[in-house]
Amino acid sequence: MTTELRPVAPAYIGSLKPYQAGKPIEETAREYGLPEASIIKLASNENPLGMPPAARAAIDAILQGGARYPDPNGHALKTALAQRYKIEKNWITLGNGSSDILELVARAFLQAAQPEQDCNAVSSQYAFMAWQNAVKATGARMIQVPAKDYGHDLDAMAKAVTPATRVVYLANPNNPTGTFFSLEQLSAFLERIPGDVVVLLDEAYNEYLEPQLRYDSTELVRRYPNLVVSRTFSKAFGLAGLRVGFALATPYVTDLLNRVRQTFNVNSLAQAAAIAALSDDDYLNESYRLNREGIVQFYALCKELGLTYVESQGNFVVIKVGNSAELFDALLRRGIIVRKVVDYGLGEWLRVTVGLPKENARFFAALRELVTVSA
């Protein structure tokens, strides 16, 4: 081996920016000399209720089988999902979180840019960073269509599709802005997209939608064979640490996604917990209720302090705070972890996840103090 040589990766791999995740509680405690129990994390759109109790019991029951590989086909979880979403099992792909689904779609449908073969993915400005990275890791070109009112400009996105476009990515609601588009807007968009272009509709925050905005994603997937809907157990179902997500798509697309999937991508604890969480309606309803109640309070506080915010259908709100780095740090020193969104080009904003009432109250008190002081 000669030391002056090193393994060669394509330039687009070297240019990837590692995903900046929410700052962990343990790390904040270490760096700021705070007790872990005094820290609240409103940074990663996690569920503040903790894991559903039924999921915990399901994990306990499965633990003793930990020496065995998980079911590679997720039979029991797919059966439960099929029942709930009124779809056949061969329309379902399981993922190690829905980030895994986003990667599977990128890997299956995008290819490294070759001089003679252009290939691109169309997304909106403020598209979820993990999707942007999944696209870039394939070497395909990323086309970012400027947002309208912080949300998707579906008309401009449809116009941005070219013969080189293989995937269009939509998030409804969107992270980090929380914006939402209606079924009518979505259907009109889908009518305009050629059948050989995949539309990846990321519905990670679907369960937080207000009832009058909800629509039947299964019906859409049946109507549009180029549509892939992705969902997650990380948010309203309260299982972010276990990593489970899934996709709904035609058997043809599902088969392709399964070809690029790691055989054992969803571990056995995650599969068992997801089945339990799926039938815990009380937990899900409480997640929804608590979140809507909190969102309204977030809006009220922003109005009180004269801060601009974007109305959100997710479990978080982006707030325009001006010097976000300074405020982020001042909040950290008070044991409150929120999220900077500078990577999205929202340098003056912070994204804050709705927590438990007492966590929100602590954040509100800190913001009142810090924003008034700096005004």
* 291 lies in the binding site for ligand PMP (CB under 6 A): no
**To the nearest whole angstrom, how small is the minimum distance from the Cβ of residue 232 to ligand PMP?**
3
Contact residue for ligand PMP among 28, 47, 93, 98 (CB under 6 A): 98
First to last CA, the chain: 61
Q: Is 335 left (phi over 0), alpha (psi -120 to 50) or beta?
A: left
* 338 lies in the binding site for ligand PMP (CB under 6 A): no
Contact residue for ligand PMP among 28, 99, 133, 324 (CB under 6 A): 99
Q: Greatest CA separation found in the chain?
A: 65
Contact residue for ligand PMP among 104, 110, 171, 270 (CB under 6 A): 171
User: What does residue 260 show for φ and ψ, rounded to 5 degrees?
Assistant: -100, 0
Which one, 202 or 207, has the nearer CB to ligand PMP?
A: 202
Which one, 109 or 316, has the nearer CB to ligand PMP?
A: 316
**To the nearest whole angstrom, how small is the minimum distance from the Cβ of residue 92 to ligand PMP?**
15
Which one, 120 or 234, has the nearer CB to ligand PMP?
A: 234
* 147 lies in the binding site for ligand PMP (CB under 6 A): no
Quote the CA–CA distance of 39 and 337 in Å, as a whole number.
8
Which one, 70 or 238, has the nearer CB to ligand PMP?
A: 238
Tell me which residue has tokens 């998980």.
Answer: 70
* 93 lies in the binding site for ligand PMP (CB under 6 A): no
> What residue type is assigned to position 107 of the chain?
R
Local structure of 44: helix, strand or coil: coil
Binding positions for ligand PMP, 199-218, rule CB under 6 A:
202, 204
Tokens coding 262: 């790691």
* 353 lies in the binding site for ligand PMP (CB under 6 A): no
* 128 lies in the binding site for ligand PMP (CB under 6 A): yes
**To the nearest whole angstrom, how small is the minimum distance from the Cβ of residue 316 to ligand PMP?**
9
Q: Please count the residues of this chain forming the interface with ligand PMP, following the rule CB under 6 A.
A: 13
Which one, 270 or 371, has the nearer CB to ligand PMP?
A: 270
Which one, 98 or 132, has the nearer CB to ligand PMP?
A: 98
* 232 lies in the binding site for ligand PMP (CB under 6 A): yes
> What residue type is assigned to position 59 of the chain?
I
Residues 6 or more apart whose CB falls under 8 angstroms from that of 94 comprise 74, 77, 78, 244, 245, 246, 265, 266, 271
* 234 lies in the binding site for ligand PMP (CB under 6 A): yes
Binding positions for ligand PMP, 253-282, rule CB under 6 A:
none
CA nearest to 126, candidates 102, 94, 156, 150? 150
- Cα-only R_g, the chain: 21
Contact residue for ligand PMP among 23, 39, 45, 331 (CB under 6 A): 45
- Helix ranges restricted to H, the chain: 11-14, 25-32, 53-63, 75-85, 98-109, 129-136, 154-160, 183-192, 217-223, 251-260, 268-278, 281-305, 324-333, 357-374
Quote the CA–CA distance of 26 and 66 in Å, as a whole number.
27
Neighbour-count burial of 267, counting CB atoms closer than 10 A to its CB (0-12 exposed, 13-18 middle, 19+ buried)? middle
**To the nearest whole angstrom, how small is the minimum distance from the Cβ of residue 20 to ligand PMP?**
12
The residues pairing with 353 across neighbouring beta strands, listed in sequence order, are 316
- Helix ranges restricted to H, 45-166: 53-63, 75-85, 98-109, 129-136, 154-160
* 175 lies in the binding site for ligand PMP (CB under 6 A): yes
**To the nearest whole angstrom, how small is the minimum distance from the Cβ of residue 231 to ligand PMP?**
8
The residues pairing with 246 across neighbouring beta strands, listed in sequence order, are 94, 231
Contact residue for ligand PMP among 178, 245, 294, 355 (CB under 6 A): 245
* 240 lies in the binding site for ligand PMP (CB under 6 A): yes
Stretch that binds ligand PMP, among 97-105, 177-185, 295-303, 345-353 (CB under 6 A): 97-105
Which one, 204 or 274, has the nearer CB to ligand PMP?
A: 204
Which one, 230 or 366, has the nearer CB to ligand PMP?
A: 230
Interacting residue ranges for ligand PMP, rule: CB under 6 A? 45, 97-99, 128, 171, 175, 202, 204, 232, 234, 240, 245
